[in-house]
Structure 1
Amino acid sequence: MATYIYLHGFASSPFSTKAQYLRDRFASLQINLNIPDLNHGDFSHLTLTRQLQQIEAEFSPDTSSFVVMGSSFGGLTAAWLAEKKFPIDRLILLAPAFNFSSEWFPKLGSEKLKQWKSEGYLSVYHYAEKQNLPLSYQFLEDLSQYPDEQLQRKIPTLILHGIQDEVIPIQASRNYAATRPWVKLIELNSDHSLDNVLGEIWQEIQGFLYSIL
């Protein structure tokens, strides 16, 4: 039996709508969905590297098979986790944050980016905490170590992305899938949240995992 892990998005939590919906759906199949809190008690010093280190600790040497799911920045984390040669059988990425540096940061504007660098922290709205929290500039610097082009491990991958995504344009997933024949991209009539297509997402996930469920 595979171990199932779900990685929530940036400024989110294990109690997000998608995380809880998928937890309940897998529970109906008597499967436990492990949803670690990637805020790790310190959102301000979040980095992709820290998330990867945290999740690596979830990998028991006694487990021979993993299915890793991730939403948005959690999806990007899942993709990099798979690149590290862990025994991951399937990847499921919901609106993954490919091209995150070129898509999200420019929206802040050059002046705000300069201010972030000089002051060391940027005020970011945290959806789970329902308040603004400071985020270290190290978050941006750390991402420079992770160019999407290096994600080349041939693991069966399902991407579900909304065509009206206002945070990570669907073209990022289209470009990613176009050069990786092991990736299946499903385009959905939704935005970045994907909250209005949860039933469709679950159907696609079940079909994708049919052989190992």
Structure 2
Amino acid sequence: MTTTHLLYLHGFRSSPQSNKARILADYVGARHSRVRWWCPQLPPSPREAAALIAEGIASWPRQTMAVVGSSLGGYYASWVAQLARCKSVMINPAVNPARDLEKYIGEQSSWHDPAEHFFFRPEYIDELRQLDTRAMTPAAPEMVLIAQGDEVLNWNEMSERYPHALQLVQEGGDHALSNFEEYLDRVDEFLALA
């Protein structure tokens, strides 16, 4: 089954302007012009982010859609994959953001526009917990790209979180997966982009 609709979810403090989002958008646009691409700006509230995503994909064909997510977007991507029962690709995914993001409660700046600020509220931690799919068996095939050199998240936790996934684990690397371009063909093959 080919993928005709592709959703990309960025990470915490990130945006559709992230390097990986732009690289994948350019790749899909150049090679798979028939694929519908959507990379929304996610609000800081996980509940609002989930509502935005669910509304945006409501009319998408479940059999031919897929989701890619990086960091916190990877956590959301696992939730989307359960909701839509679709293929997913996680890039250095957040495994337990309810634990990891507690220290970021308060005012934050956007990574791609430091002048843009938002407030990460205490109630967002519970909202994150409500989207946790760790106890669920994958609803569709999963791929996870993991850098052992991730300076933000523990690569062992990522690997243990996705035992059923096709795991591409690289030595070294970083949280941004700066060499993401090297994985584009593998992602394309896994998703069978139309």
TM over 0.5: yes
**Contact (CA 8 Å) 1:104, 1:168: kept in 2 or not?**
no
- The aligned counterpart of 2:90 is 93
- 1:148 deviates by 4.3
After superposition, the C-alpha distances for 1:148-175 in whole angstroms (9 at most, x for unaligned) are 4333233100101111111111112111
Give the superposed CA RMSD.
2.1
- The aligned counterpart of 1:184 is 166
Assess, with a 3 A threshold, how the Cα gap between structure 1 residues 28 and 134 changes in structure 2: closer, same or farther.
same
Distance 1:27 1:194 in 2: 21
Structure ID, larger Rg: 1
Structure 2 gap segments, 5+ residues each = none
Q: Secondary structure at the match of 2:40?
A: coil
Q: Which amino acid aligns with 1:93?
A: M
Distance 2:54 2:80 in 1: 8
Structure 1 gap segments, 5+ residues each = 40-45, 117-121
Distance 1:38 1:146 in 2: 15
**Contact (CA 8 Å) 1:99, 1:148: kept in 2 or not?**
no
Distance 1:177 1:59 in 2: 24
Query: For 1:208, which of 176, 190, 193 is the aligned residue?
Result: 190
- The aligned counterpart of 1:61 is 59
Normalised to the residue count of structure 1, the TM-score between the two structures is 0.79
Assess, with a 3 A threshold, how the Cα gap between structure 1 residues 62 and 169 changes in structure 2: closer, same or farther.
closer
Normalised to the residue count of structure 2, the TM-score between the two structures is 0.86
Provide the aligned length of Structure 1 versus Structure 2.
187
Q: Secondary structure at the match of 2:56?
A: coil
Distance 2:40 2:60 in 1: 19
- The aligned counterpart of 2:38 is 34
- The aligned counterpart of 2:16 is 14
- The aligned counterpart of 1:76 is 75
Distance 1:173 1:9 in 2: 15
Distance 1:128 1:96 in 2: 19
Query: For 1:49, which of 47, 50, 70 is the aligned residue?
Result: 47
